[in-house]
């Protein structure tokens, strides 16, 4: 089925909608002043370096100095007690203090260790097993063992295990005695006990406080509550985006009642029948505007006309963009002569392979086929250095070393940061940072506020 051109009203809507998140033109290195923040200076220096590399030129020494001095200044700001960067300060503390380093290493596998102990305790003292045991001292002790594991009271659990190992009743049951001895000797239990001991250390408490400033501990009640709020926030943005897209579909239908009808589907899942790599590609689309065409067998088949992703922030969209681009490339692998079945919230739909194959990741095609919808206020002025790039710059080994010298009140030489500049120009690991400004600009070009999208639809003639 050949793909007809997109409807004029759709193209008009995409041209009309305000792009309040769009980046302003970037200043040149020569135009920078002391009023510009270190992050802005870094963004300017990185973009100038990218252009030089793209032109097969070596960035000059002045640009290197600009980058290094701005990075040193950003690290100094991040290490301030008031208003500093908690994550960098935690990284430096971990670098400096052996006990903090040990705590961090153990904490990284604490969830796995807790699961191992819970599994071992359940094998011995699962509540269902205890219900089948006759009342008595052994059942009471095993119930206390289960309670200690459930409340993460590891010292109490060890004491209970010791009493159980000394119990004549347990000794009379060789299988139970072996399970208890095995649990008592588990490395996971030793790790959890050591975490509890280290948690009392003043430097570890300082480290934990810094981590909590950066966000609640994973698995904590605060983290669960924050995750719930984030999900609710995301669902609210998705609902606003879907409502705007529904209004657009209705406007297109009203404008040409005799033409092909339009509809909106949500949570559209990409089937495995689409060839190409699904790895790290977007395989579920939040909302999609579809245009009906008549299939060869008389069934309704639909063309994809607009793909919409709802995001709660610019940073979320920036992080998502690589997945989105891989997702578009995946869809473009569709056979132009095939029809593909997709599952959506509205049920099963058949999509024209030609409309999928026509999807492209070049800038002009993206602007006509993809929108990021958001309801967050636009930053004024917008941040020119993305959050992920800033994090990679601050967490690089030379940056941590420079920050450590500041923390120890030693002379911190910005020249120590030169290896980051060299890596930025040469290492594939730094490719996303080197290209961070074009990517940020691309994301912001695709982003619209849900209110602006609805206003553009309502203003159509």
Please tell me whether the peptide bond between 63 and the residue prior to it is cis, using omega within 30 degrees of 0: no
Q: What is the pLDDT of residue 224?
A: 59
Summarize pLDDT for 90-144 with one digit per residue, the tens.
Answer: 999 999 999 999 999 999 999 999 999 999 999 988 998 888 888 888 888 899 9
Checking if the pLDDT of 172 tops 90, the result is: no
| Predicted local confidence at residue 323, as pLDDT | 96
Distance CA 84, CA 93 (A): 14
Alpha-carbon gap, residue 85 to 78, rounded angstroms? 4
Beta strands 262-269 and 284-294, pairing class: antiparallel
Per-residue pLDDT, averaged over 168-178, amounts to 82
Beta-carbon contacts of residue 276 (< 8 Å; ≥ 6 apart): 329, 330, 332, 333
pLDDT confidence of residue 402: 97
Residue 295's pLDDT is 63
Residues 6+ apart with CB under 8 A from 421: 49, 64, 67, 68
Provide the b/e sequence for 243-280 (b: ≥16 CB within 10 Å): ebbbebbebbeeeeeeebebbbbbbbebeeebeeeeee
Query: Helix, strand or coil for residue 275?
Result: coil
Give the Cα separation of 66 and 45 in Å (integer).
7
Domain residue limits, the chain? 1-55+237-389+433-461, 98-215
Tell how far CA 434 is from the center of its chain. 20
Q: How far is CA 16 from CA 130, 286, 362, 369, 377, in A?
A: 69, 22, 21, 15, 19
Share of the chain above pLDDT 90, in %: 77
Whether the per-residue pLDDT at 220 is higher than 70: the answer is no
pLDDT at 227 exceeding the cut of 70: no
Show the DSSP H helices in 370-435 as ranges.
387-395, 397-407, 418-426, 431-434
Helix (H, G, I), strand (E, B) or coil at 33: coil
What does the pLDDT read at residue 410? Answer: 92
**378-394: per-residue pLDDT in tens?**
988 889 999 999 999 99
Contact, 324 vs 309, CB < 8 A?
A: yes
pLDDT, one tens digit per residue, over 85-98 is 999 999 999 999 99
Residues belonging to the chain? 461
Inter-residue contact 448 to 373 (CB < 8 Å): yes
* pLDDT tens digits for range 254-302: 998 988 999 999 999 999 999 989 999 999 999 999 999 876 666 899 9
Q: What is the pLDDT of residue 44?
A: 98
- pTM attached to this predicted model: 0.83
Q: Residue 268's pLDDT is what?
A: 97
Three-state DSSP state, 201: coil
Count Cβ neighbours within 10 Å for each residue of 147-169 and write b for 16 or more, e otherwise. ebbeeeebeebbebbeebeebee
How high does pLDDT run on average in the chain? 92
Least confident interval from 230-234, 391-395, 402-406: 230-234
Cα 178 from chain centroid? 44
| DSSP H or E segment with residue 300 | strand 300-310
The mean per-residue pLDDT over the stretch 423-442 comes to 96
Q: For residue 154, what pLDDT is reported? A: 96
């Amino acid at each position: 089925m050949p793909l007809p051109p997109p409807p004029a009203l759709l193209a008009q809507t995409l041209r009309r909608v305000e792009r309040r998140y769009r980046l302003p033109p970037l200043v040149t290195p020569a135009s920078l002043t002391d009023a510009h923040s270190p992050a802005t200076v870094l963004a300017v220096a990185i973009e100038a370096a990218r252009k030089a590399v793209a032109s097969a030129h070596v960035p000059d020494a002045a640009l290197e100095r600009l980058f290094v001095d701005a990075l040193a200044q950003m690290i100094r700001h991040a290490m301030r007690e008031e208003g500093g960067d908690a994550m960098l300060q935690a990284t430096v503390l971990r670098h400096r203090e052996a006990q903090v380093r040990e705590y961090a290493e153990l904490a990284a596998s604490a969830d796995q260790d807790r699961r191992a102990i819970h599994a071992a305790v359940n094998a011995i003292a699962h509540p269902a097993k205890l219900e089948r045991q006759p009342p008595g001292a052994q059942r009471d002790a095993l119930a206390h063992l289960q309670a200690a594991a459930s409340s993460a009271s590891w010292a109490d659990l060890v004491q209970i295990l010791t009493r159980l190992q000394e119990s004549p009743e347990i000794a009379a049951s060789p299988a139970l005695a072996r399970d208890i001895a095995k649990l008592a000797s588990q490395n996971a239990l030793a790790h959890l006990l050591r975490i509890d001991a280290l948690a009392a250390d003043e430097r570890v408490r300082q480290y934990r406080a810094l981590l909590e400033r950066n966000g609640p501990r994973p698995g904590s009640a605060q983290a669960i509550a924050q995750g719930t709020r984030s999900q609710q926030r995301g669902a609210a943005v998705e609902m606003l985006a879907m409502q705007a897209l529904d209004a657009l579909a209705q406007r297109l239908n009203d404008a040409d009642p005799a033409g092909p009808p339009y509809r909106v589907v949500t949570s559209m899942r990409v089937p495995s029948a689409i060839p190409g790599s699904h790895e790290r590609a977007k395989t579920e689309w939040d909302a999609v505007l579809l245009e009906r065409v008549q299939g060869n067998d008389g069934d309704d088949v639909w063309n994809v006309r607009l793909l919409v992703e709802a995001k709660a922030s610019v940073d979320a969209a920036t992080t998502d963009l690589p997945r989105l681009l891989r997702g578009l490339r995946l869809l473009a692998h569709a056979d132009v002569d095939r029809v593909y079945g997709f599952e959506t919230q509205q049920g099963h739909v058949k999509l024209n392979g030609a409309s999928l194959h026509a999807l492209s990741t070049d800038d002009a095609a993206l602007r006509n086929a993809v929108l990021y919808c958001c309801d967050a206020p636009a930053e004024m002025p917008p941040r020119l250095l993305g959050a992920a790039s800033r994090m990679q710059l601050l967490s690089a080994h030379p940056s941590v070393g420079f920050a450590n010298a500041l923390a120890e009140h030693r002379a911190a030489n910005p020249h120590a940061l030169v290896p980051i500049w060299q890596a930025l120009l040469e290492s594939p690991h730094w490719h996303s940072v080197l290209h961070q400004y074009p990517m940020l600009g691309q994301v912001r070009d695709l982003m619209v506020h849900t209110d602006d999208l609805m206003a553009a639809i309502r203003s159509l003639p």
